[in-house]
Amino acid sequence: MCGILAVLGCSDDSQAKRVRVLELSRRLKHRGPDWSGLYQYGDSYLAHQRLAIIDPASGDQPLYNEDEKIVVTVNGEIYNHEELRRSLPNHKFKTGSDCDVIAHLYEEHGENFVDMLDGMFSFVLLDTRDNSFIVARDAIGITPLYIGWGLDGSIWISSEMKGLNDDCEHFEAFPPGHLWYNPTWFSEAIPSAPYDPLVLRRAFEDAVIKRLMTDVPFGVLLSGGLDSSLVASITARHLAGTKAAKQWGAQLHSFCVGLEGSPDLKAGKEVAEYLGTVHHEFHFTVQDGIDAIEDVIYHIETYDVTTIRASTPMFLMSRKIKSLGVKMVISGEGSDEIFGGYLYFHKAPNKEEFHRETCHKIKALHQYDCLRANKATSAWGLEARVPFLDKEFINVAMNIDPEWKMIKPEEKRIEKWILRKAFDDEERPYLPKHILYRQKEQFSDGVGYSWIDGLKAHAELHVNDKMMLNASHIFPHNTPVTKEAYYYRMIFERFFPQNSARLTVPGGASIACSTAKAVEWDSSWSNNLDPSGRAALGVHNSAYEKQLSSTVNKNLTNNIIDSVPRMMEASAPPLTIRS
């Protein structure tokens, strides 16, 4: 990942303005610690903070076409750049960077070239011949991007909100795939293609393999769940004998984070041993996580409860990974949205409802899991790649008749059954059966069941009942309805006090975007204010109770311990997973 900042059409081209742009660009240096660059053309500025993954020696930005009349600053990776280079035989490229194709594609094809790009990206392209510009963001919004407007008529573009929140009168998230991305599934029409497990398998293998494009050390995030385990398995199979294997070693490195004794640590270690990866286990305590919350909210730029819960362990793990010299990891985000992997999908009444909800979830990914995965890793100059959100793979998966995705216990079909079945190879197993069919854990629960309860208990110490009583007056937009949500909101407002900032968080901290549909499918959800997946079904009760009793006393102070039983007692009703 990199950090981009552009100021277009401002009324000031002075040295003082240039210094200010540089100052704001430095707020993004964590995204790109390897190099920085700034291009100025009249009243427009294009700045870049580089994380060098492809062609570290010569791929510094901004990048140009041959006569340097077209300038581009890019955050992301273009996986099909070699194919695109071959399609431009009359162009001369100055670097080996994958992003170098963008300016040349524009010169050759005009603004309609964006759909030719296969990758994750955000960029600003300035055509100095007519002083026009293009801003684009990848189809799903894997890379973050914000747009702002100044009082002088200027337009601001930044990878993160902190690059423009002090200088713009108004700003908001730039929409993913804006104007250029409109696949068949986007209209939410019900698809009818038959399920072919081999087609699905090949599509995902291709998605993983193309993301192994790198000139720097890399690894995989491995929680031991289905998604990360499949990514690790495919990567390990492909790695032997490749250029990357010769350069970085034949064994794949894998990484997992959790509280002591957490489900993810146990499962991740088992999968790593099965695959033969060099496995790195990172432990943290509840207090470690609590101590990092302010940094997490500053970097993630949200007050959404579930995002903060899951971002914190990932934030801590990313720092450790970067300390080992690794600059790129492959992760498993996106599968649950595509295949209906969240536990409330058990209650979907029919395939039409199921499919439309997966469409809604994918369209919202840039506000939740994509935001978390990108910013939690980029906070430490680490790049996360997400093969489940590959453009071609999504087209294959979302074109399957959703009847095949429906969860049917009577037929032994659990969530994401079609993905599991696609990789259930008896002759050459990708994974052990019990891992392949391991049930869904929320990431924030998988790292240790006492993590969420520790956060709630900590918030209980800092937010009193009187504060909650007046919450709607203090925070009229997206009013927090739990003390944990109120606590996060206070921190967020301190870093980002602008009204534009609070408007970038959809649905508020009170409940996740999926809850309205969950309540519609299962009315028992209406009794639960917690946005995590625990309330969906009574699936993990016994594991949760056991884990809590064995770890809570090790991680919480006496005051926090006293508050946990009261919070549990007042939470979800019987037969649901208590929050």
Given the residues 2, 256, 359, 370, select the one marked as catalytic: 2
Q: Collapsing DSSP states into helix, strand and coil, what is residue 434?
A: helix
What Rg value do the Cα atoms of the chain yield, rounded?
A: 23
Does 42 show up as a binding residue in the annotation?
no
**Spatial distance between the Cα atoms of 237 and 231, rounded to a whole number of angstroms:** 10
Does 257 show up as a binding residue in the annotation?
yes
Q: CB–CB of 276/251 below 8 Å?
A: yes
* Of 175, 176, 158, residue with least CA distance to 496: 158
509: region left, alpha or beta (phi > 0 left; psi from -120 to 50 alpha): alpha
Task: Kindly state the DSSP code that residue 252 receives in the 8-state scheme.
Answer: P
Q: Could you tell me what percentage of the chain is helix, strand and coil, using 3-state DSSP and rounding each to the nearest 5?
A: 50, 15, 35
Cα of 229 vs its chain's centroid, Å: 17
Does 332 show up as a binding residue in the annotation?
yes
Supply 138's token pair: 């990848």
Residue 355 CB neighbour total at 10 angstroms: 24
Sheet (strand 63-64) strand order: 63-64, 70-78, 119-127, 132-137
The DSSP result for 435-450, as a single string, is HHTPPP--HHHHT-TH
Q: Collapsing DSSP states into helix, strand and coil, what is residue 215?
A: coil
**Spatial distance between the Cα atoms of 305 and 41, rounded to a whole number of angstroms:** 42
Q: Collapsing DSSP states into helix, strand and coil, what is residue 161?
A: helix
**Spatial distance between the Cα atoms of 473 and 475, rounded to a whole number of angstroms:** 6
Whether 2 is a known active-site residue: answer: yes
Packing angle of the helix pair 305-323, 450-462 (nearest 10 deg): 110
136: CB partners within 8 A, 6+ apart? 114, 121, 122, 123, 125, 178, 180
Question: How many residues belong to the chain?
Answer: 579
Beta strand 119-127 with 132-137 is antiparallel
Does 100 show up as a binding residue in the annotation?
no
**Spatial distance between the Cα atoms of 491 and 293, rounded to a whole number of angstroms:** 9
362: CB partners within 8 A, 6+ apart? 140, 334, 337, 338, 394, 398
Does 331 show up as a binding residue in the annotation?
yes
Angle at 533 between CA 138 and CA 268, to 5 degrees: 75
The one-letter code for the residue type at 579 is S
Residues involved in catalysis: 2
The binding site comprises 98, 221, 257, 331-332
The binding site for L-glutamine comprises 98
The binding site for ATP comprises 221, 257, 331-332
